[in-house]
């Protein structure tokens, strides 16, 4: 397949490209800077600029672009950037697809389980409605832009990622230094559910979505073995052979991170991968203990 990827320098994109190329696919990367390699295509989603000739003939387009939600406090300016980065990239790609002489067979667009908001112990499938809050609003706008591709006849998959576990980036990479020193612990009460997925399974889900026509619409990319934050931190401590007995009070998190604390750190989201499993995907790391132990030994 000829595959176009937006967001190729992030945690998922940088790991995905070598996997796709190893499988024999031709991969082209959309870049905002001046192209420096034959596989780079310049674009400017803020101005809806994308050279159609360079993406003509693509079999699939994968959109992983978007400003890092966990990079800092959600100031007003950052919230604007977070929202615009997702909306503009998706709208630009969909507009370009609609203008192509031959549309791609599939459009895989990232989203997040933040779509569901803070839902306590409720088990959340792809049929569950959106929740409240900034992240939920962003995900709804993000997915609405992607749905326009589906209306134009392109099979569209909206991958709602949970917390992606990798020592190379994301939430886990930020947690590891403290936990390796034996200074880790639960966040707040620890009762909040964490929807997580290992990086190999995140990549596997994307690959599955590319080639399996049963994958369409919203797809929760989360492991079957969900865990509370208290369970997650206990297992992480065990995997690192370190104690995890120092909780971080909710009030301290709110002082440090403001609104982000309640929506990204203390919110409870218990999503399950119903659509992905129904489409035949077999998880490499269905349970948390296995995933964390593999991270330690790998």
Give the CATH number, domain containing residue 198. Answer: 3.40.50.720
pLDDT of residue 297: 53
105-119 pLDDT per residue, tens: 999 999 999 999 999
Mean pLDDT of 89-99: 95
Question: Which residues, in sequence order, are CB contacts of 130 under 8 Å at separation 6+?
Answer: 115, 116, 117, 136, 139, 140
pLDDT of residue 35: 86
pTM above 0.85, yes or no: yes
pLDDT of residue 70: 84
**Average pLDDT across the chain, whole number:** 94
Mean pLDDT of 182-191: 94
Q: Which domain holds residue 210?
A: 2-297
Provide the pLDDT confidence category of residue 64 given band limits of 50, 70 and 90.
very high
19-40 pLDDT per residue, tens: 999 999 999 999 998 888 999 9
pLDDT at 49 over 60: yes
Mean pLDDT of 88-108: 95
For the chain, what is the domain count? 1
pLDDT of residue 82: 95
């Amino acid at each position: 397949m000829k595959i176009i990827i937006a967001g190729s320098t992030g945690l998922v994109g940088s790991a995905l490209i070598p996997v796709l190329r190893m499988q024999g696919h031709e991969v082209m990367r959309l870049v905002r800077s001046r192209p420096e390699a034959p596989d780079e295509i310049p674009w400017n989603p803020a101005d809806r600029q994308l050279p159609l000739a360079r993406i003509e003939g693509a079999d699939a387009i994968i959109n992983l672009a978007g400003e890092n939600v966990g990079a800092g406090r959600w100031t007003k300016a950052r919230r604007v950037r977070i929202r615009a980065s997702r909306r503009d990239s998706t709208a630009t790609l969909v507009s370009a697809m609609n203008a192509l002489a031959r549309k791609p067979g599939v459009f895989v667009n990232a989203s997040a389980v933040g779509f569901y908001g803070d839902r306590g112990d409720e088990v959340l499938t792809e049929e569950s409605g959106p929740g409240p809050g900034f992240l939920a609003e962003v995900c709804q706008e993000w997915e609405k832009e992607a749905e326009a591709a589906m209306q134009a006849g392109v099979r569209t998959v909206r991958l709602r990622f949970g917390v992606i576990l990798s020592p190379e980036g994301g939430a886990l990479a930020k947690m590891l230094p403290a936990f390796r020193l034996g200074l880790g612990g639960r966040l707040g009460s620890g009762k909040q559910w964490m929807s997580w997925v290992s990086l190999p399974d995140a990549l596997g889900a994307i690959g599955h979505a590319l080639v399996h026509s049963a994958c369409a619409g919203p797809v929760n990319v989360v492991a079957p073995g969900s865990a509370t934050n208290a369970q997650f931190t206990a297992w992480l401590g065990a995997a690192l052979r370190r104690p995890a007995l120092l909780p971080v009070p909710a009030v301290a998190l709110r002082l440090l991170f403001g609104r982000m604390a309640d929506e990204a750190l203390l919110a409870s989201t218990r999503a399950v991968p119903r659509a992905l499993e129904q489409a035949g995907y077999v998880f490499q790391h269905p349970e948390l203990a296995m995933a964390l132990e593999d991270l330690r030994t790998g």
